[in-house]
């Protein structure tokens, strides 16, 4: 029976350990030893590449113009969000450094005298408290009231929900309000078109928040636009009605001409108004003496009249000469 110690080969490397060095090793054994040593070395990771700093556009300085305060504050809040590791004191210092100008320098100096400790180089106010003081001093109350009035008057039309909410939420921001304000929801519910409002009220689960109402209106508006697209497509494929070629009405003779034709009058005869009625064969045609014959040009009528006058003058001259000879 083989002894357990004799069965154990000390030349076989144990997993996780380097193989033992044996004197008189062959070239293959030496290569295996080197491979075992390298394989047991801990894996090395490359050092992380240095992170590049974001290049931010600094906001403009606030100069004390109340109409620009809300825009400047929004820019500053986004600028500070890019410095998450800054301390509260550093953030307040940055905000105060962007407030400067002839109209506001005195306010900054007075505020620093009250709330900044020059020895400790610390602000006694938190960033939230500084924003509250700035809001109280420089919020445009007139602009907020005007924006609130425009929110109340704004109306949503079918097919224009996206434009409505874009303008409405801009006015909401200008008025210093948020979606959580009850007035914001009530103004929006009054502004949507009657068709959408009725459809929402007929739902089993009525929306309760501003975002729920907004989603419902947008969904109805999308359905409306699809319906209009289908209607326009059907109108485009409809065959137009073929044009009707109506025959011109038959030309009717005047009653006087019809009466003469029925009486059997063969020749034309002028009536009391100067109208020549009748004609060859009693066809019932009529025309005035001075009316041009159809197809006669105005110049021809003028020449014909001149010839008639010349003929009458010649007749009168002939008559006067004959009378003179008799005498």
pTM of the model: 0.54
Mean per-residue pLDDT over the chain, rounded: 78
pLDDT at 306: 73
Band of pLDDT at residue 293, cut at 50, 70 and 90: low
pLDDT at 247: 56
pLDDT, one tens digit per residue, over 248-283 is 666 665 555 545 445 444 455 555 555 555 554 444
Say how far apart CA 302 and CA 288 lie, in whole Å.
17
Query: What pairs with residue 79 in β-bridges?
Result: none
pLDDT at 314: 76
What 8-state DSSP symbol labels residue 62?
B
Give whole-number Cα distances, 240 to 234, 246, 247, in Å.
12, 18, 21
Say how far apart CA 277 and CA 18 lie, in whole Å.
140
Backbone angles phi, psi at 62, to 5 degrees: -85, 125
pLDDT at 313: 78
Indicate whether 316 pLDDT > 90.
Answer: no
pLDDT at 292: 54
CB atoms within 10 A of CB 274: 10
Tokens linked to 40:
């047991």
Percent of the chain with pLDDT over 70: 60
Say how far apart CA 119 and CA 294 lie, in whole Å.
117
Give whole-number Cα distances, 302 to 70, 281, 296, in Å.
88, 30, 10
CA atoms within 13 A on the CB side of 111: 21
Dihedral sign, CA of 117, 123, 129, 135? positive
Tokens linked to 273:
């108004």
Percent of the chain with pLDDT over 90: 50
Alpha helices in the chain (DSSP H): 4-7, 27-39, 66-81, 88-97, 105-115, 127-138, 141-153, 161-174, 182-191, 194-201, 210-237, 255-263, 298-326
pLDDT at 320: 60
Instruction: Give whichever of 22-26, 65-69, 317-321 has the largest mean pLDDT.
Output: 65-69
């Amino acid at each position: 029976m083989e002894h357990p110690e004799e069965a154990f080969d000390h030349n076989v490397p144990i997993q996780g350990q380097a193989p033992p060095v044996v004197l008189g090793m062959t070239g293959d054994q030496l290569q295996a030893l080197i491979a075992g040593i390298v394989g047991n070395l801990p894996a090395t990771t490359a050092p992380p590449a240095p992170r590049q700093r974001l290049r931010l556009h600094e906001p403009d300085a606030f100069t004390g113009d109340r109409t620009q305060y809300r825009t400047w504050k929004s820019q500053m809040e986004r600028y500070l969000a890019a410095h998450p590791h800054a301390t509260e004191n550093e953030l307040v210092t940055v905000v105060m450094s962007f407030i400067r100008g002839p109209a506001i320098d005195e306010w900054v100096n007075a505020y620093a005298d009250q709330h900044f400790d020059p020895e400790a180089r610390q602000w006694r106010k938190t960033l939230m408290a500084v924003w509250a003081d700035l809001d109280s001093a420089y919020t445009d109350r007139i602009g907020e009231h005007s924006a609130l009035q425009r929110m109340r008057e704004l109306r949503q039309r079918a097919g224009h929900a996206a434009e409505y909410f874009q303008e409405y939420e801009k006015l909401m921001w200008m008025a210093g309000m948020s979606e959580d304000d009850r007035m914001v929801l009530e103004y929006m519910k009054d502004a949507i078109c009657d068709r959408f409002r009725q459809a929402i009220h007929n739902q089993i689960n009525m929306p309760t928040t501003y975002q729920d109402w907004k989603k419902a209106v947008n969904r109805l508006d999308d359905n409306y636009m699809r319906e209009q697209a289908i209607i326009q497509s059907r109108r485009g494929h409809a065959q137009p009605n073929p044009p009707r070629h109506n025959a011109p009405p038959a030309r009717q003779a005047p009653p006087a001409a019809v009466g003469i034709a029925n009486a059997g009058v063969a020749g034309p005869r002028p009536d009391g108004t100067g109208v020549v009625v009748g004609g060859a064969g009693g066809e019932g045609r009529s025309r005035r003496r001075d009316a041009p014959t159809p197809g006669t040009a105005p110049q021809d009528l003028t020449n014909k009249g001149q010839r008639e006058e010349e003929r009458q003058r010649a007749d009168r001259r002939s008559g006067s000469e004959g009378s003179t000879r008799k005498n």
